[in-house]
Amino acid sequence: MLTSQNGAAIVTQPMLVFFLLLFTYPLWADAVGLYNYLGVEIAIFVLYALGYNLLFGYAGLPSFGHGAFLGVGAYSYGLWQLGAYPHVFAGLLVAVLSAAAAAAGVVALFLSHRRGIYFALMTIAFGQIFWFLAIRLRWLTGGEDGMLNILRPKLDLGIATLNLSSNAVLHYLIAVILAAVILILWRIVHSPFGTALQAIRMNEMRARFAGYRVWLIKWTVFTLSGAIAGLAGAFLAMTQESAYPDVMSLHASGFVVMMTLIGGGFVSFWGPVVGAIVFILARDVLGAATETWLLWYGLLFMAVMVVEPEGVVGVWRRIEARIKRPASTPEQAKREVVL
Amino acid sequence: MDFLQNLLPHLLNGLALGLLFALIALGFTLIVSVMEVINLAHGSFFALGAYVAMVIINPGLAGGGGLGDAYMTLPLGARYVIALVLAPLLIAVIGFGLELLLRRTYGKKKEYGLLLTFGAALVLEETIRLIWGPAEQIMPTPPAISGAFIAGDMIYSIYRVYAMLAGAFAIFMVWLFLEKTPYGAIIKAGAHDSEMVRALGINLPRLQMLVFGLGAALAALAGIILTPIWGLRPHVGVDATIPAFLIIVLGGIGSFRGAVLGGILVGLAVGLTGAYASDWSLLSMYLLLIAVLTFRGRGLFGKKTALEA
């Protein structure tokens, strides 16, 4: 495999499998009873959850108001498309930048010096502020009715013009960007910066004494994670052709934490991917079967937390370990520490 | 003078709201201090307490004959008092149950406990929706505390005065319990260093269970008193949880004074801004929080604790 300087693979087998599934999805979705819109949604939430896990799983910083950045991304994409200069990439860029600005300039400034429970509670408070503003700034966001009629523009690539009103075409656009983000994130978590993140998760105090500028690293990772949430938000607005304050509520912000944990974000890079897929599929299946899917969902989630809080990947690891017993060679032990 | 007179009812509204916020926050802070868990189901206890009380007051037993009829002939006031005592106790039992599940996450990552309560919050809210429907319900109140009275030029709701007094009384009782009884001393010690408490031969798991139940009961009590003012709908729990979070951070985690003072400050901020810009009144508590935290990172009375590690 292709490897980078410090020995971590640039492309890995799970990555190839995921890309294969991602890019062929529109070809086999109908055959197994799924549909293109669902694939788009899954891709968006995989993007969101992966960005979230950089903060949550790697740096160990629990944010319970992350929906704020998803929302900021969605609204700023919408505003851009409705007003200034309707162009897909410009809109995406604006969304990423404004979500990053909201994260970096407002929230992370207050949070980068906070730890533990204060950090968690303050993310809730900030998340609520953004949600509240989204509802009250009616002239800007459309209030509780949402921002409507954000049309999917045509994307002119020079050689071809993509018609994004088709869900399959939209799926490919999002898939390409998601693949790029995955490659970038994989590099980030295996870079010295990624190692510093894990040092902070394991013991913040010790990381500081080791010479890391902890607050700056926390500020950076929060901003990065917020920017990715903003990108996901822009895609969400593009897909739904509208933007709503719901995605910023405490519940919605809790869902991304659920996705990340159900999959096993603490133990694997791929945890949030598995989690987002399970979450959206389960929502669809349960939602079709019963109106009170949230009840069952909550119960399922409680069971996961009580029985196996390391999620799907945690279970997988345990099965794997049982199959290839005498497990812990030094090489493996090392891998386990660095996810 | 006119200005002050117009302001007075809003001040009182804010004070009543603040005392009840403080009551919610107190239960929350007790749970955080002893178990180091952010209980996201706290608002669900608040809502569920109110719904259960509504059923106890008006169970619809009339015509069933026997005991049911006898119960319904009790005056509304008596049934209200029964509900005020019984509903928080029932919610405490549910709290015990949740704590038993929560126990499995102790000693693991802090987030697991928090997320377990998030799941519980979803389950409780959906259960409420399933049983009582999504529509707004009316919480019956006895005639003695309904209506309005006139003092000077001001007409004011009797219920809000009652809410204020009940809130203050409940806070006082919690204070008495924590400061003047041996149980309170154990709880405070448990919040300070639970390992040491266990080493002294005190049954720590039972203490944790009781504290969780007490916190849940306080939330339920606040729910019963506050929902005639706010209205009773399944989502009301979230409306109550958010101020509780803010108050805890504002006052300093684990501080009794902080929770009470923070509650009153938030209540007054919401009440007073409600007088001038009611659409924006909720924003005032967020701004208050940011203002305080800019100058005091751990809130008004917060101390450095293990909760930050």
Confidence of residue B93 (pLDDT cuts 50, 70, 90): very high
| Tokens linked to B240 | 């109550």
Residue of B29, B130, B280, B308 to mutate when probing chain A, most A C-beta within 10 A? B308
B258 close to B302: Cβ distance less than 8 angstroms? yes
Any idea which of A209-213, B104-108, B168-172, B259-263 has the lowest mean pLDDT?
B104-108
Provide the 10 A C-beta neighbour count for residue A113.
Answer: 13
Which pLDDT score is estimated for A66? 92
In whole angstroms, how far apart are CA A279 and each of A160, A161, B111, B182? 35, 33, 19, 47
Which pLDDT score is estimated for B65? 61
Determine the 3-state secondary structure of B148 from DSSP: strand
User: How far apart (Å, rounded) are the C-alpha atoms in residues B163 and B84?
Assistant: 12
Chain A residues with CB-CB distance to B122 below 8 A: 251, 294-295, 297-298, 301
pLDDT at B204 over 50: yes
Mutual angle of helices A293-307 and A250-263, in 10-degree steps? 50
Site of tokens 């069952």: A296
| Tokens linked to A203 | 């013991």
A78 close to A236: Cβ distance less than 8 angstroms? no
Percent of chain B predicted with pLDDT > 70: 94
User: How far apart (Å, rounded) are the C-alpha atoms in residues A268 and A263?
Assistant: 9
Of B152 and A178, the structure prediction assigns the larger pLDDT to A178
What one-letter code names the amino acid at B5?
Answer: Q
Closest partner residue to B238 (CB to CB) among A133, A250, A301 is A250
Chain A residues with CB-CB distance to B110 below 8 A: 62, 116-117
Closest partner residue to B108 (CB to CB) among A125, A258, A309 is A309
Any idea which of A92-101, A169-178, A192-201, B1-10 has the lowest mean pLDDT?
B1-10
C-alpha distance across the termini of chain A, in Å: 19
Q: Any chain B CB within 8 A of the CB of A125?
A: yes
Q: Any chain B CB within 8 A of the CB of A118?
A: yes
Confidence of residue B309 (pLDDT cuts 50, 70, 90): very low
pLDDT digits (tens, 9 = 90+) for B248-299: 888 888 788 888 999 999 998 888 887 777 777 778 888 888 788 777 777 7
User: How far apart (Å, rounded) are the C-alpha atoms in residues B221 and B225?
Assistant: 6
Q: Could you say which residues from 288 to 317 on chain A have a Cβ atom under 8 Å away from some Cβ of chain B?
A: 292, 294-295, 297-302, 305-306, 309
User: How far apart (Å, rounded) are the C-alpha atoms in residues B205 and B217?
Assistant: 18
Mean pLDDT in residue range A184-207? 90
| Tokens linked to A14 | 């799970």
Task: Please count the CA atoms within 13 angstroms of the CA of B219 that sit on its side-chain side.
Answer: 39
Determine the 3-state secondary structure of B297 from DSSP: coil
Residue of A305, A307, A308, A310 to mutate when probing chain B, most B C-beta within 10 A? A305
Which pLDDT score is estimated for B290? 77
The phi and psi torsions of B258 (rounded to 5 degrees) equal: -60, -45
Which pLDDT score is estimated for B87? 93
ipTM of the modeled complex: 0.79
CB contact under 8 A, B245 and A125: yes
Distance from CA of A126 to the nearest CA of B (A): 8
CB contact under 8 A, B32 and A117: yes
Strands (E), chain A: 154-156, 161-163
User: How far apart (Å, rounded) are the C-alpha atoms in residues B92 and B113?
Assistant: 18
A74 close to A229: Cβ distance less than 8 angstroms? no
pLDDT digits (tens, 9 = 90+) for B38-82: 888 999 999 999 999 998 888 875 555 667 777 777 888 888 898
Which pLDDT score is estimated for A335? 52
In whole angstroms, how far apart are CA B188 and each of A161, A192, B198, B256, B307? 68, 43, 13, 11, 15
pLDDT at A94 over 50: yes
pTM of the model: 0.85
pLDDT at A2 over 80: no
Which pLDDT score is estimated for A1? 42
Nearest to B267 by CA among B135, B142, B160: B160
